[in-house]
Amino acid sequence: MLRAGVIGVGYLGRLHAQKIASFDDVVFSGVCDADRERGKAVAQEFGTSFFENTRKLLREVDAVSIAVPTTAHFRVAREAMRAGVHVLLEKPIAATVREGRTLVREAAERGLVFQIGHLERFNSAVISATSVLKEPRFIECHRLGMFGGRGTDVDVVLDLMIHDIDLLLSFVRSPVARISAVGVPVISSNVDIANARLTFANGCVANVTASRVSMRKQRKIRIFQEDAYVSMDFVENQIQIYRRTFPTGPGSLPEITGEVLETEKGDALRDEIRSFVECAGTGAAPRVSGEDGLAALEVAFRILRKMRRR
């Protein structure tokens, strides 16, 4: 049986521990956290062991889920890889592009499974809508949330917008040719509200907004293509699809027909970790690879550079 552990059991890491503990075919070897009391409490909650340092935990596992602050991603993930351990690393892949490239190279050289925690790829609404998408021409994304204090060690582009950047790259499959962007700090010392306009080489344009200081939560993506309009609401777990149809008969004009799909809420985090565990056991390529995470990070830093120039 695969032996798994979790490094970093704050709010998100605790949820990772909860999911791993629910798998009957995985040995939950333990958790590690810089906060000793928190780490011991999570270990006790899920019936596993607490390790005071990562070196000791890594000796006992085949795969590890890492949910430490972004600024520690590189150090902890590289240590795990050098111990020969498969890695699921929360997004973003790293705090710098250079660190991200190093991690991708390290995993490839060691033949390890390296998955990035871009959770929306496992969202039931995204999975359902993907079959409809052919060649998007315009995409609008809004990811807004109330200030909670988490993730403020980085700009909102790396904290929230990067989810949508990853989705955009998976939808469009074309290089980003041009970017314009603006962002401002509101509460934290980093950018809290950001907007970016991305023009892809194939002509598709995407307008992306992210905020962590809004009054209400919103997670929406609207996609326009030649024969359809698709709207995904991740909060309501609802998809609206409008298609252009051509009725038969002389003088008939194109019509628009629509449908609303209610998708099951599901458990995207559990599905993500389940997929990682299976890949770690078989050596299969993960749905969101280290290369995918690096591509999203590279675009995110291009956005940040545009903001700083303004």
Contacts of 210 (CB under 8 A, 6+ apart): 143, 144, 156, 157, 159, 160, 161, 164, 193, 194, 195
Q: Is-contact 41 35, C-beta < 8 A? A: no
Longest dimension (CA), the chain: 77
Contact 247, 112 (CB under 8 A): no
Q: Which residues of the chain have pLDDT under 70?
A: 149-152, 246-253, 262, 310
Q: What is the pLDDT of residue 269?
A: 96
Among 3.40.50.2000, 2.40.50.140, 3.40.190.10, 3.30.360.10, name the CATH number for the domain at 121-263+298-309: 3.30.360.10
The pLDDT of residue 308 is 84
pLDDT tens-digit map of 46-78:
999 999 999 999 999 999 999 999 999 999 999
Residue 248's pLDDT is 66
Round to whole Å and give the CA distance between 235 and 247: 35
Closest CA to 210 of 200, 220, 224, 201: 220
DSSP H helical ranges for the chain: 11-21, 36-45, 54-58, 73-82, 97-110, 124-130, 156, 162-172, 268-282, 290-309
Domain spans of the chain, in order of start: 2-119+269-288, 121-263+298-309
CATH fold of 2-119+269-288, please?
A: Rossmann fold (3.40.50)
Locus of tokens 């060649």: 135
CB 177 within 8 A of CB 105: no
**What does the pLDDT look like over 166-209, one tens digit per residue?**
999 999 999 999 999 999 988 888 889 999 999 999 999 999 99
pTM score, whole prediction: 0.91
